[in-house]
Amino acid sequence: MSKIPEKGFQRAEPFGRRRHSPNLAKACAKAALAAFFCVLAWAMPGMAGRASSVDALCAAMSLEEKVGQVFTVYFTGPVVSDDLRSLIADYHIGGVIYYSVSGNVESPAQVAALSREIQKAAAGTPKGVGLFVSVDQEGGPVARLRRGVTLFPSNMAVAATGNPDNAGIMARIMARELSALGVNVNFAPVADVNINPKNPIIGIRSFGQDPAKVAAFTAAAVRGYSREKMLCTPKHFPGHGDTAVDSHLGLPVVAHDAATFARTDLPPFQAAITAGTRAIMTAHVELPAVDPSMAPSTLSHKVLVGLLREKLGFQGLIFTDSLGMGAMANTVGTVEAAAKALAAGADVLLFGADKGHTTDQQRQAHARIVAAVRSGEIPMARLDETVRRILTEKKRLGILAARDIKAPETDPQKLAARLATAAHIREAEKIARRSMTLLRDDAHLLPLKKTGLTLVIRPRRGAPDVDEPAEAALSAWPGVRLAPVSGDPSSTETTEVLALAREARAVVLLVSGAATKPGQARLAQELFAAHPGKVVLVASGAPYDAALFPDAPCLVATYGDVPASLTALGQSLYGDNPFRGVCPVDIGLAGPFAPDSR
């Protein structure tokens, strides 16, 4: 892969204090006149990009335009709706985020066309500033685009390969494909150190439980995104790995003391900063070791400024996690959280497609911040600092002037030549094959024979764009009969599966989230009892599921169920691909764990 050079930017040096002379007076007059036309240029429609100074653009902006720049918002539908057009034209938003659940994602060509029209709408505004077009495309379970692009295994699967270079490869390929769709910000990688097996929201999104290893993989991913000029946001600062509450629903507390926090949660973010990340995303967590007031980190000046900026030296953009999440909406409220986050030191306020969150709240938050600045509650200097930082980053990305942004290709055939290419898919498959982990095979059930019937049982996730590709990958195994069941199988389903198992030479049972789905555990135990010696249990989500079945004779971990991982699983079970993965977390069983992760 060729390296894309990055062009730096220059900031004008301020004049020093000197004695005035006629020549100096003339020079100053010329400079003042030039500055006037510079500001005038920014104030005219479509003129963004012709002035060299970010400061001039900031000076030309109204208060409402400045406030709009800090907003990255969600919207509904696959096209630029009247609602979104109003947010761009009337509220001067600085960015958007795509969600499949909001109907923003139908096909690659549609997404590319949407990105094109969004920037076209931005180009028609008085200042013509381009928008951040963002998405959560982490790999594994969190991927808003799932069809027509390269789907990579989860971060934990990547870490199971033991090679941080794979994180860089994944980042570069995802960046290239997202760029082809007009996306310029990816909310990845996850830098959380997952040391809590009961963490309901991080799990396989993490690179594991060893801070040094998570740091190495995070840094490699940051370098990969940077090489492709994609803004990435290592998340969720200051760390979401040791929580037992989903911040989409409530407000978690990280109970680490200062020493534990420093050696566990901070290293990946320190590594990301050293690797050159230009953005970081916050976590909605309370961290009393840093802020005894128990202010959520997203709203904490001590966390965002005192820790991240002053102690860690980070000078890039601070993105909030979505302010519509339960941790904010159910406590201070989404609108109030926006004002508090900006006052605390955040730069970009993210409004996601969260339950109960409406686009009207985005408008209300805009009005709330405008009023806060006018009243002096939020100093104008605080807002200007953030706006300059945002505009500077947009200039670096080449999106400061929307009219100058190269429109993405929207022809499906031409676009397909840049997405999910054979070379890209090969890299995803290589990572998947290298990640396959054999935790136990006491009964020597492996490799499976390719003759005879293999019954494969998979709990469905209830999402067609996940289930259909997964089942297609499993159906391609030799001699397979696929038996999909519901996510929490009923007793009737269990009876039906037991009958099918009698006809099979081998049974492969996939489990995912079994700790909270008793039907999966019941099905597994009845299969073990009825068919001892022929059941292979696969933890196809978090490997912690394997610990629920300590008596299972054969245990395998895949760290997710993207098609590449399920294809690699079949190759490993049938002996065509050796099990070489090392589990990045300790699941409490004897097995191939990273030696310094236990």
Q: What is the pLDDT of residues 491-523, one digit of tens each?
A: 999 999 999 999 999 999 999 999 999 999 999
Q: What is the CA radius of gyration of the chain?
A: 26
Q: Is pLDDT of 415 > 50?
A: yes
Residue 32 has pLDDT above 80, yes or no: no
**Same structural domain, 98 and 197:** yes
pLDDT, greater one: 23 or 277: 277
pLDDT given for residue 590 in this prediction: 58
Give phi and psi for 584, each to the nearest 5: -80, 0
CA atoms within 13 A on the CB side of 290: 28
pLDDT band at 52 (very low <50, low <70, confident <90, very high): low
pLDDT of 138 > 80? The answer is: yes
- Reply yes or no on whether the pLDDT at 84 is more than 60: yes
Average of pLDDT values for 212-224? 99
Please give the average per-residue pLDDT across 66-71, as a whole number: 99
Count of domains in the chain?
A: 2
DSSP state letters, 477-502 = STTEEEEEE-SS--HHHHHHHHHHHT
Give the residue numbers spanning the domain of 523.
429-597
Q: What is the pLDDT of residue 4?
A: 31
User: What pLDDT does residue 567 have?
Assistant: 99
Residues 101 and 184 in one domain: yes
CATH (domain of 165): 3.20.20.300
Q: Do the domain assignments include residue 119?
A: yes
CATH number for the domain including 569? 3.40.50.1700
* 400 and 474 in a common domain: no
Shared domain for 275 and 344, answered yes or no, is yes
* Other residues' Cβ atoms within 10 Å of the Cβ of residue 354: 20
Distance CA 270, CA 5 (A): 24
| Average pLDDT of span 367-384 | 98
Same domain as 441, residue 307: no
pLDDT value for 34:
41
**Proportion of the chain in helix, strand, coil states, percent, rounded to 5:** 45, 10, 45
Q: Is the pLDDT of residue 64 over 60?
A: yes
Are 139 and 169 in the same domain? yes
25-52 average pLDDT score: 43
Query: Residues near 333 by Cβ (< 8 Å), separated by ≥ 6?
Result: none
Q: Give the C-alpha separation, 180 to 409, whole Å.
A: 7
Q: Are residues 386 and 481 in the same domain?
A: no
d(CA 570, CA 375): 63
Tokens of residue 22, six digits: 């006629």
Q: Residue 594, Cβ neighbours under 10 Å: how many?
A: 18
Assess if residue 182 is contained within a domain. yes
Helical H runs in 188-333? Answer: 211-227, 258-264, 266-274, 301, 326-329
Last residue of a domain, one of 361, 381, 414: 414
**Residue 296: beta bridge partners?**
286
Q: Do residues 466 and 372 both lie within one domain?
A: no
Q: Which residue in 330, 321, 303, 317 sits closest to 201, CA to CA? A: 321
386 and 455 both lie in a single domain: no
Tokens at residue 130, please?
A: 């381009």
Check: CB of residue 285 under 8 Å from CB of residue 199.
Answer: no
* Same-domain check for residues 128 and 262: yes
Q: Are 441 and 578 in contact (CB under 8 A)?
A: no
Query: Which DSSP state fits 309?
Result: I
Q: Does 10 fall in a domain?
A: no
Confidence of residue 41 (pLDDT cuts 50, 70, 90): very low
DSSP letters, 154-214, are: PHHHHHHTT-THHHHHHHHHHHHHHHHTT--EE---B------TT-SS-GGGS--S-HHHH
Residue 29 domain-assigned (yes or no): no
Which residue shows structure tokens 């027509």? 148
Give the mean pLDDT of 93-115. Answer: 98
Task: Work out the average pLDDT over 149-161.
Answer: 99
pLDDT above 60 for 13: no
Averaged pLDDT of the chain: 91
Q: Determine the pLDDT at residue 507.
A: 98
pLDDT at 16: 32
218 pLDDT above the threshold of 80: yes
Asked whether residue 403 carries a pLDDT value surpassing 90, the answer given is yes
pLDDT at 306 over 70: yes
From CA 162, how far away is CA 582, in angstroms rounded? 7
User: Is 33 part of a structural domain of the chain?
Assistant: no
Domain boundary among 385, 414, 443: 414
The reported pLDDT for the residue numbered 566 is: 99
Least confident stretch, 2-16, 153-167, 202-216, 541-555:
2-16
Q: What's the pLDDT at 139?
A: 97
Q: How confident is residue 591, by pLDDT bands cut at 50, 70 and 90?
A: low
Same domain, yes or no: 270 and 409? yes
| Site of tokens 């269990």 | 494
Identify whether residues 326 and 372 lie together within a single domain.
yes
Closest CA to 146 of 463, 427, 418: 463
The residue among 414, 438, 453 that closes a domain is 414
Of 43-47, 55-59, 223-227, 396-400, where does mean pLDDT reach its minimum? 43-47
Q: Is residue 17 part of a domain?
A: no
Q: How many helices (H) and strands (E) does the chain have?
A: 21, 16
What was the pLDDT predicted at 22? 43
Tell me the CB-side half-sphere exposure of residue 518, using CA atoms within 13 A: 1
Residue 223 has pLDDT above 50, yes or no: yes
Q: What are the distances in angstroms from CA 287 to CA 255, 265, 410, 589?
A: 7, 11, 45, 31
pLDDT (0 to 100) of residue 244: 87
82-89 and 359-375 helices, crossing angle to 10°: 10
Distance CA 489, CA 461 (A): 12
The residue with tokens 């926090």 is 261
Determine, yes or no, domain membership for 156. Answer: yes
Q: If we measure between CA atoms, which residue out of 189, 104, 208, 178 comes closest to residue 142?
A: 189
b/e string for 79-105 if b means 16 or more Cβ within 10 A?
A: ebeeebeebbeebbbbbbbbbbebebb
Give the residue numbers marked as catalytic.
Answer: 321
In a domain, 1, yes or no: no
